[in-house]
Amino acid sequence: MLRINIYIPEDLNHQLGLVARSIGQKKAEVFRTAIRAGLKTIQPKSISALNLVNFAKEAEKIPTKGRIPKDIIKNLDYYTWGGKKRD
């Protein structure tokens, strides 16, 4: 395990102490548990947001003005992602 130093407000330290005493654990263990839970909550949102941005960039490649192929609906995968073209 690594040792790191962080600064937390006094009220957070007090709350951390109350929780630690109420469940019979050390502050460090309560803090590690809270960090793990917080990271699980934050991480999926970041990945989802990144996927949404990538999807928007790909959507910009779809032609919307000028000459649009007549088979755009039938061959959307081909025009969007470069898949196989259907007959």
Per-residue pLDDT tens digits for 38-47: 988 776 666 7
- How many residues are there in the chain? 87
Q: What is the pTM of this model?
A: 0.49
pLDDT digits (tens, 9 = 90+) for 44-86: 666 777 888 888 898 888 777 777 888 888 888 888 888 888 8
- Residue 30 burial (CB count, 10 A): 19
Measured between alpha carbons, how far is residue 18 from residues 10, 13, 52 in Å?
Answer: 12, 9, 40
Domain ranges of the chain: 10-81
